[in-house]
Amino acid sequence: MTIARRASVADGGEIDVLEGRGVLYRMCGLADKCAIGAGKASDERLLLLRREALELALYSFHYLDDIEHVAVFLPPAKGEDVPFALHFSRDDVAGQLARPLRVTLPNPDTITIAPNTPAIRQLTYANLFKFSLTVGNQDTNVFLVLDPLPTDS
C-alpha cells in the first residue's frame, strides 16, 4: 500500500506520495464496522484511542528499524462510517523516541489529568486524518489517501 497525504486547501491541496516502508494497524471494537460496542463515545475515549495509536507508533519505530511510517485506523463511533486514521512518520516523533515512553505517555487511567496530556492532544491531532482507500488507475496498487481535518480559524 502506498500512502498519499493531501495538504489542506489553505496549503494548496497538493498530494504528496510518501516514500519508505510502513506498518498499518486497525483498532477494532466488537460492534458493526469495528465500532466500540459498549459505552458512549466521548472526547476522553477519543483521546485514549489517540494515545494508544501514538503508543503503537512509538513501539513500532523503536523495534522496527526499517519503517518510516505508521498508520493506525481508529474505530468509528457506533453507527457511523466516517473513517479516521492517525499517521506518524519517524520524523514526527523523533523527539519522543529519544526519551523513555513513560515520559511521553501518561498512564491510561489518568489520561485526562496527566500533565503531558496537552502534548498528546497536540501531537496526535496534527496527525489525525480522514482516510480513504483508492485503487490506482494504472495498476492494482492501493493508495491510503489521508485528508487533513478542518482547522479552527
**pLDDT tens string 31-53:** 888 888 888 888 888 888 998 99
pLDDT digits (tens, 9 = 90+) for 96-150: 899 888 777 767 666 666 666 787 888 898 899 999 988 877 777 888 999 998 7
What's the distance, CA 119 to chain centroid?
A: 15
Query: pTM score, two decimals?
Result: 0.85
Give the C-alpha separation, 76 to 113, whole Å. 25
33, 93, 26: which is closest to 59 by C-alpha? 93
pLDDT reading at 27 higher than 70: yes
The C-alpha cell of 91 is what?
Answer: 520524523
